């Protein structure tokens, strides 16, 4: 397969230069109706107009035939042109030069086409696995979430078997190369030089499509409630840039056009989007493990000027809404804003629909608040306004937020609105004699010094990962399995995963804010006792040693746990035999991790691994009499 000659940026530029109503108007007599143009369908012999064109959203929709698309699609449908022919005709009209079709360009398109083929083959494999013998648990999980088998095909849901090489072996049989699988993000090549293995294992699979509907990446959802990480996405590839895509965007855009709404609904997870679709709100999308980016806002505004961002009403949801405000402020224009819905009782859309019905979801969306309301409340809740200095600080925060708006007219309008609210609010305060108290959680003192173990096991390893984002990403799966005996450190680890899984940046500032919201003062103080380290590259010798230290930490924990079970007699003969095998496996793997050599014994002794292995051996000898 050879990929398209015209990339997304070229097509977007072309459509921005061509007014779709001008092209359609050559074939259909259009009449202006509000924001849209209306006329008789060119596809059916209707007598009452049901054909509409929207220049702002750059699409047409025909209710009589169900057809929908952009100006290129219109030429393809009405003049039987190929995609390339339609683009070439419009480019000539817009005065745009066509991209040069050089041998290098052809080779790049061919390569992109191969990767798309590999992703499509993987999608079909995952779909088949869901319906096969190994997919029983995944089928039960989906049905337990309210998704019937009749809906699985609509979303192309699948299952990745809990196997290290099942997908790789299948794709090899279809003719895919190992390099293409690596470049598509489907398999992982260990730094140790061992054989590659499948990225997705034992997970429900959600294919991620580009704006044209082609599969370019995948999201994997763990089925166990407490699994870490809960969601695992494809890495950045030549096809997939997570900050430039939205889950189910193409289908949502089509649904929004037919529903005639002012914007898409933005949720936090794949299942939320699917739950919305099943409830009749087919125009939902989700970012892919990141806070909203400029590119994603641009995609949203291409569909409608007032998308609704739907978040859980808990602290994490409020924090995500605040981040979206800061991201959007510089790009606000007339006809381009955001609305927000914070769902009640900490529910997400999937939970709300299942527990209270689609009517409750409709009410929540109908009560969405404009961006200016959330901005006002965010700054108001920073603290009380009981002194002139605090009132001045509040006004300063409002002015600083407004200063980020680039559009002069919108900036002026926001300044007027917020200052009027401030005058009204202070007037009401004087009349009632009350003082705004602010958010108690955010103002909770952390100056006191609770009793702390300042050097608990595993803390230095966890902090090293916090200070090195690339290290954290490389070791995330092993960290998920790590058990920290100190409850404060365990709480710090949970906070790391809360931020990581919500797509937020994991750093000391974000962790401190998150911990403060939940009153985790001890974890904050413990983090502050640790000196900040220079970020490490996971491929560097020092980075490899820290990742190895994480492996050794987990191995010590596993051995200690099994030793306790042996002493207590729990688990039976099968467990005892597996323990013996596990001991040998762990020792072998740790020696591999430390790369052998004269220093192995010293490293094991320092990490506590030798003590754990010896203690395990003593417990086994007492149990088995040898």
pLDDT confidence of residue 443? 36
In the structure, what pLDDT confidence band is assigned to residue 1 with cuts at 50, 70 and 90? very low
**What are the boundaries of each domain within the chain?**
8-94, 111-240, 244-376, 381-432, 459-529, 541-624
Compute the distance between CA of residue 248 and CA of residue 267 in angstroms, rounded to an integer.
11
Average pLDDT for 9-26: 87
On the question of pLDDT at 531 being above 70, the answer is yes
| Each residue's pLDDT tens digit, 307-334 | 999 998 878 888 889 999 999 999 999 8
On the question of pLDDT at 453 being above 60, the answer is yes
Q: What are phi and psi of 224, to 5 degrees?
A: -75, 140
pLDDT confidence of residue 98? 83
Cα→Cα distances 400→278, 326, 386, 396, 404, Å: 42, 11, 21, 6, 7
pTM exceeds cut of 0.75? no
Average pLDDT for 59-72: 90
Q: What CATH number is given for 244-376 in this structure? A: 3.40.1360.10
Does the structural domain 8-94 have CATH classification 3.90.580.10? yes
Cα→Cα distances 118→160, 165, 175, 214, 456, Å: 15, 15, 9, 11, 46
Average pLDDT for 508-513: 80
Q: What CATH number is given for 111-240 in this structure? A: 3.90.980.10
Average pLDDT for 355-363: 92
CB 444 within 8 A of CB 513: no
Give the alpha-carbon dihedral of 60, 292, 180, 213, to 10 degrees: -20
């Amino acid at each position: 397969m050879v990929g398209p000659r015209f990339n997304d940026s070229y097509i977007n530029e072309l459509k921005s230069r061509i007014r779709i109503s001008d092209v359609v108007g050559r074939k259909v007599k259009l009449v202006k109706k509000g924001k849209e143009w209306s006329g008789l369908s060119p596809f059916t012999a209707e007598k009452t107009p049901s054909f509409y064109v929207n220049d702002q959203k750059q699409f047409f929709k025909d209710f009589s035939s169900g057809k929908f698309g952009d100006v290129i699609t219109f030429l393809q449908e009405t003049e039987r042109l190929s995609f390339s022919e339609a683009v070439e005709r419009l480019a000539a009209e817009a005065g745009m030069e066509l991209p040069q079709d050089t041998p290098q360009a052809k080779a790049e398109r061919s390569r992109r086409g191969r990767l798309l083929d590999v992703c499509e083959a993987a999608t079909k494999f995952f779909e088949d696995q869901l319906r096969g013998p190994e997919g029983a648990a995944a089928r039960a999980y989906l049905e337990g979430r309210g998704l019937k088998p009749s809906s699985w095909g609509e979303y192309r849901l699948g299952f990745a078997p809990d196997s290290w090489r099942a997908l790789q072996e299948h794709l090899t049989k279809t003719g895919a190369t190992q390099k293409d699988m690596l470049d598509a993000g489907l398999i992982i090549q260990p730094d140790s030089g061992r054989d590659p293995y499948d990225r997705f294992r034992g997970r429900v699979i959600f294919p991620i499509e580009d704006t044209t509907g082609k599969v370019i990446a995948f999201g994997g959802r763990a089925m166990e409630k407490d699994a870490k990480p809960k969601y695992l996405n494809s890495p950045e590839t030549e096809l997939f840039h997570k900050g430039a895509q939205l889950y189910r965007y193409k289908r949502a855009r089509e649904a929004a056009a037919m529903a005639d709404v002012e914007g898409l609904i933005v949720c936090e997870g794949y299942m939320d989007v699917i739950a919305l679709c099943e409830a009749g709100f087919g125009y939902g999308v989700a970012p892919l493990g990141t806070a909203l980016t400029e590119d994603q806002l641009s995609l949203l505004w291409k569909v409608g000027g007032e998308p609704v961002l739907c978040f859980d009403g808990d602290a994490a949801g409020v924090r995500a809404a605040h981040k979206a405000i800061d991201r959007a402020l510089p790009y606000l224009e007339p006809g381009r804003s955001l609305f927000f819905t914070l769902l009640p009782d900490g529910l997400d859309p999937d939970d709300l629909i299942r527990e209270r019905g689609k009517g409750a979801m409709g009410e929540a969306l109908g009560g969405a608040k404009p961006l200016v309301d959330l901005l006002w409340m965010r700054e108001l809740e920073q603290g009380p306004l009981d002194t002139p200095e605090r009132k001045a600080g509040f006004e300063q925060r409002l002015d600083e937020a407004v200063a980020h708006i680039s559009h002069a007219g919108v900036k002026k309008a926001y300044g007027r609105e917020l200052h009027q609210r401030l005058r009204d609010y202070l007037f009401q305060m004087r009349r009632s004699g009350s003082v705004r108290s602010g958010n108690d959680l955010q103002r909770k003192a952390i100056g006191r010094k609770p009793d702390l173990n300042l050097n608990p096991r595993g803390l230095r390893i966890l902090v090293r990962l916090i200070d090195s984002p690339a290290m954290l990403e490389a070791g995330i799966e092993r960290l998920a399995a790590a058990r920290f005996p100190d409850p404060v450190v365990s709480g710090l680890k949970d906070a790391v995963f809360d931020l990581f899984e919500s797509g937020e940046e994991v750093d000391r500032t974000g962790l401190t804010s998150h911990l403060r919201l939940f009153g985790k003062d001890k974890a904050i103080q413990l983090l502050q006792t640790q000196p900040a380290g220079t970020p490490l590259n996971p491929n560097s010798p020092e980075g490899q040693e820290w990742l190895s230290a994480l492996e050794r930490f987990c191995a010590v924990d596993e051995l200690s746990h099994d030793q306790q079970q042996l002493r207590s007699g729990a688990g039976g003969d099968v467990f005892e035999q597996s323990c013996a095998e596990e001991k040998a496996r762990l020792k072998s793997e740790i020696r591999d991790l430390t790369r052998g050599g004269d220093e192995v014994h010293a490293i094991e002794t320092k990490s506590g691994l030798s003590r754990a292995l010896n203690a395990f051996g003593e417990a086994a000898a007492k149990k088995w009499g040898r």
